[in-house]
């Protein structure tokens, strides 16, 4: 792996999803597919894409003629503060967002088969490297992408989200394999449709993924009546990049309302959203962020954490962060006054675990009051050592803390942990915690560690210190299908390899006629290799005329090739005019 400084900052738990790019597995036909798509992209997108696209191709080191080795790209990406890693198809949305927050592009290592050259239902290297990478060279857009990752990685997911993710991954794997029986695809489509038909409140992750889809993947920019393309899904689809700008696709001004538009990842989109500029994207993202638990905190955030059923973090205004599985909380006047986690929990400050307060120590859960002390004008987290003595809170002596909420803590104060001028944790022995007639903690349970903070300012998904908490992403059990090529396919690929070698070495092209004759006899329906040959063939003995006649005949017998061949021949004519 060609590393750079960005990759060195990646936390351990993300690395389980990273794979080696199987570069030697790409066939000569794969490289021809890449080359065709990229040449068509440059030819068409120069007229309709955001102005930063072509410059971004150059700045990110993406080759037009061959599939890029993405780790070689890292030597260039580091100059703009980004990096790339290879993954196997779709990864969990939360992990995808987190990679993005670290300025890392996740690039699906596979490449679409030739029969999906215009559009693929699965992520592939054309989508990721040729779609996402060039636009991040624009500083305003790169800032949006990073900020989206930071906010999106804090979003809460639901059980349904995980089920839908697995169903989408399964369906995309089946659709990307040209040998999958149609019956299997239909069954997978039904399973996904059944899941999506289940009604209920959408999670934060489901909503923010809508925003991601309509901007990062399928966004348009500029004038509503004549927008340009910047979304990676459009930039990497030579079919949809054209159809997206046609009047049949509804264009809608991009606002926060886009969160209410669901999407189908396996087909073309019926409407698209147009942002006036990249700055507007951040404004909408900020508006959505204000609706999320990580900014609202309080009872709203704690309930989101409980509903998720997964690891979450609540952050006090003192800076203390409690990470675990949240079980319950007490509230008064719509403010939390006490909460509990269950199972292993750790305490953190600014994303780093506090010494002595890891999962092993708090293995049975954690509970603490929230709020201000009664008759004390200064919040407990801000009271100095001298101020604590004035209200009889002294290390080594028994203390009684009565909160405005009515929660009472009584015990022998053994230790106070403070950081950056704020009290974070009070540790008691022989401690009793009560609220009204409820006993919340009793001495036989051992030492009592009380979190200090007058309010919970933020609640977000996942642990504050992922590595210390032991967070891991399970590697998907279902892998993308590695196509087992038939002997005939291997022969076809060898013909592609001969043409590729001829082009790249600029050597003797006299063998092209032999290759073409073999192609006609063995693979008469292949359309891409004749175009490759036509591009470099010299019009000797009417060879170029014969190639063009063959291609026109293919168009007549295979209407689905009509536009692909037309675009290929038009590109060749333009190249000849330039040369």
Check: CB of residue 493 under 8 Å from CB of residue 486: no
Eight-class DSSP state of 49: B
Rounded Cα distance, 202 and 159, in Å: 11
Q: Token digits for 360?
A: 């092993």
pLDDT by position in tens, the chain (length 579): 555 678 888 898 999 999 999 999 999 999 999 999 989 888 888 899 999 998 888 888 788 899 988 777 887 888 888 988 999 989 999 999 999 999 999 989 899 889 888 877 778 898 888 888 889 989 999 999 999 999 999 999 998 999 999 998 999 899 888 889 999 999 999 999 899 888 888 999 999 999 999 999 999 999 999 999 999 989 988 788 889 999 999 999 999 999 999 887 767 789 999 999 999 999 999 999 999 999 999 999 999 999 999 999 999 999 999 999 999 999 999 999 999 999 999 999 999 999 999 999 999 999 999 999 999 999 999 999 999 999 999 999 999 999 999 999 999 999 999 999 999 999 999 999 999 999 999 999 999 999 999 999 999 999 999 999 999 988 888 998 888 889 999 999 999 999 999 888 876 677 899 999 999 999 999 999 999 999 988 766 688 899 999 999 999 999 999 999 999 999 898 877 766
- The gap between the terminal CA atoms of the chain, to the nearest Å, is 38
Domain ranges (residues) in the chain = 5-286, 308-469, 487-578
Rounded Cα distance, 454 and 383, in Å: 12
Rounded Cα distance, 306 and 308, in Å: 5
> pLDDT (tens digit, 9 = 90+) per residue, 423-437?
999 999 999 999 999
Q: What pLDDT is attached to residue 579?
A: 60
Rounded Cα distance, 129 and 61, in Å: 10
Distances (CA, A) of 148 to 142, 241, 416, 505: 10, 24, 37, 44
Q: Token digits for 24?
A: 């030697």
Q: Regarding beta strands 271-275 and 226-229, do their DSSP bridges make them parallel or antiparallel, or are they unpaired?
A: unpaired
Q: What is the DSSP string of 411-471?
A: EEEEEEEEETTEEEEEEEEEEEEEETTEEEE-GGG--EEEE--SSEEEEEES-SSHHHHT-
Q: Which residues contact 385 (CB under 8 A, 6 or more apart)?
A: none
Q: Token digits for 20?
A: 């080696």
Q: Token digits for 147?
A: 């900020």
Rounded Cα distance, 144 and 281, in Å: 7
Rounded Cα distance, 438 and 281, in Å: 49
Q: Which helix (H) or strand (E) element contains residue 272? A: strand 271-275
Q: Please, what sign has the CA dihedral across residues 425, 431, 434, 439?
A: positive
Nearest to 527 by CA among 500, 503, 560: 560
Check: CB of residue 35 under 8 Å from CB of residue 68: no
Q: What pLDDT is attached to residue 133?
A: 87
Nearest to 284 by CA among 202, 201, 215: 215
Q: What pLDDT is attached to residue 63?
A: 85
Q: The whole model's pTM is what?
A: 0.88
For the chain, the average pLDDT equals 92
Rounded Cα distance, 133 and 82, in Å: 9
Q: What pLDDT is attached to residue 306?
A: 97
Rounded Cα distance, 429 and 396, in Å: 10
Q: What pLDDT is attached to residue 346?
A: 98
For the domain made up of 308-469, give the CATH fold: SH3 type barrels. (2.30.30)
Structurally, at CATH architecture level, domain 5-286 sits in Orthogonal Bundle (1.10)
Eight-class DSSP state of 568: H
> pLDDT (tens digit, 9 = 90+) per residue, 65-112?
999 887 778 878 888 889 889 999 899 999 999 999 999 999 898 998
Rounded Cα distance, 196 and 193, in Å: 5
Backbone angles phi, psi at 212, to 5 degrees: -65, -45
| Helix, coil or strand: residue 506 | coil
Rounded Cα distance, 385 and 394, in Å: 8
């Amino acid at each position: 792996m060609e590393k750079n400084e960005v990759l060195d900052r990646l936390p351990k738990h993300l690395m389980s999803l990273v794979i080696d790019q199987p570069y030697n597995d790409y066939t000569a036909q794969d490289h021809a597919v890449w080359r065709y798509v990229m040449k068509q992209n440059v030819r068409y997108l120069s007229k309709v894409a955001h102005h930063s696209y072509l410059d971004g191709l150059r700045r990110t080191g993406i080759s037009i003629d061959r599939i890029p080795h993405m780790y070689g790209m890292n030597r260039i990406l580091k100059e703009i503060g980004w990096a790339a890693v290879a993954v196997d198809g779709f990864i969990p949305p939360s992990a995808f967002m987190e990679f993005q927050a670290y300025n890392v592009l996740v690039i699906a290592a596979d490449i679409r088969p030739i029969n999906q050259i215009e559009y693929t239902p699965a992520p592939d290297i054309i989508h990721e490297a040729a779609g996402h990478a060039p636009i991040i060279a624009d500083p305003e857009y790169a800032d949006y992408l990073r900020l989206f990752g930071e906010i999106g990685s804090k979003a809460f997911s639901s059980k349904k989200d995980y089920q839908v993710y697995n169903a989408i991954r399964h369906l995309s794997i089946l659709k990307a394999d040209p040998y999958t029986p149609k019956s299997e695809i239909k069954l997978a489509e039904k399973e996904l449709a059944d899941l999506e038909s289940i009604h209920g409140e959408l999670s934060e992750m489901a909503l923010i993924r809508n925003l991601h889809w309509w901007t990062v993947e399928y966004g348009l920019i500029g004038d509503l009546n004549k927008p340009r393309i910047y979304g990676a899904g459009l930039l990497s689809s030579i079919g949809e990049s054209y159809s997206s700008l046609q009047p049949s696709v509804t264009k809608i001004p991009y606002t926060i309302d886009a969160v209410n538009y669901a999407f189908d990842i396996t087909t073309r989109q019926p409407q698209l959203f147009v942002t006036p500029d990249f700055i507007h994207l951040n404004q909408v993202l900020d508006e959505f962020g204000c609706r999320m638990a990580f900014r609202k905190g309080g009872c709203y955030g704690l309930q989101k954490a409980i509903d998720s059923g997964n690891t979450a973090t609540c952050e006090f205004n003192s800076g203390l962060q409690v990470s675990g599985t949240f079980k319950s909380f007490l509230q008064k006047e719509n403010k939390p006054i006490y909460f509990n986690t269950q199972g292993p929990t750790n305490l953190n400050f600014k994303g780093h675990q506090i010494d002595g307060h890891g999962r092993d120590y708090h293995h049975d859960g954690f509970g603490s009051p929230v709020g201000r002390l009664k008759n004390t004008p200064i919040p407990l987290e801000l009271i100095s050592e001298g101020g604590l003595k004035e209200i009889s809170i002294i290390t080594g002596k028994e203390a009684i803390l009565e909160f405005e909420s009515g929660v009472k803590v009584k015990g022998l104060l053994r230790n106070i942990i403070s950081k950056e001028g704020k009290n974070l944790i009070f540790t008691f022995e022989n401690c009793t915690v009560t609220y009204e007639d409820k006993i919340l903690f009793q001495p036989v349970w051992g030492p009592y560690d009380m979190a200090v903070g007058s309010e919970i300012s933020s609640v977000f998904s996942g642990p504050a210190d992922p590595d210390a908490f032991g967070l891991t992403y399970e590697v998907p059990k279902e892998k993308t299908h590695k196509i087992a090529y038939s002997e005939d396919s291997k022969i076809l690929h060898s013909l592609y390899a001969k043409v590729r070698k001829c082009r790249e070495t600029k050597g003797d092209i006299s063998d092209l006629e032999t290759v073409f004759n073999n192609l006609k006899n063995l693979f008469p329906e292949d359309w891409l290799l004749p175009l490759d040959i036509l591009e470099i063939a010299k019009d000797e003995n009417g060879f170029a005329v014969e190639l063009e006649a063959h291609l026109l005949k293919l168009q007549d017998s295979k209407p689905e090739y009509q536009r692909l061949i037309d675009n290929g021949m038009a590109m060749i004519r333009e190249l000849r005019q330039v040369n």
